[in-house]
Structure 1
């Protein structure tokens, strides 16, 4: 993947997360939005990589079952959202 594709996916994730306010989004939503076509499945590994990077930078949180997870060590179904300012 190119730097441009990574930047596009990062912007999509951040835009969708911002639109959700305090809610979260499914990574498939980011892949669909970044693809713009029905062929979005190939973007899922990139979405995950970019999400991990954004989480490590503190720009998003990765959650599983509603709880934040370690971005370097998670498995299964996950969601993306903005960090909470509690």
Structure 2
């Protein structure tokens, strides 16, 4: 099974490839590491979520539900997407140049 470093790298690469305003599904991260068969990627879904929560708390990605960042990355339910954090999330109200 993939380790946290591999999950982190794959996740950051995928959201960076999509760019601002675009998202990827956590299963895409799992499939990239575990292959197309559910027996390979299915067990990676919980580790992917753990890494997503950590990276969100670090401000490196955003976990989104219904297109909006989750209020508490430790406590959310349902289907979610991963994306780049918006400027407002990373710059405490600062404005882009």
Structure 1 and Structure 2 fold alike (TM over 0.5) = yes
Structure index of larger Rg: 2
Unaligned runs of at least 5 residues, structure 1: none
What is the aligned-residue RMSD (CA, Å)?
1.4
Corresponding position: 1:85 with 2:87: yes
Runs (4+) of structure 1 moved beyond 3 Å? none
Range with bigger deviation, 6-15 or 36-45: 36-45
Distance 1:16 1:60 in 2: 11
Of the two structures, which has the highest relative contact order with CA contacts closer than 8 Å and spacing of 6 or more?
1
Count of aligned positions: 84
Partner residue in 1 for 2:8: 10
TM-score normalized with structure 1 length: 0.90
CA deviation map 1:21-76 (0-9, x unaligned) = 02000000000012235221000000000000000000000000000002111000
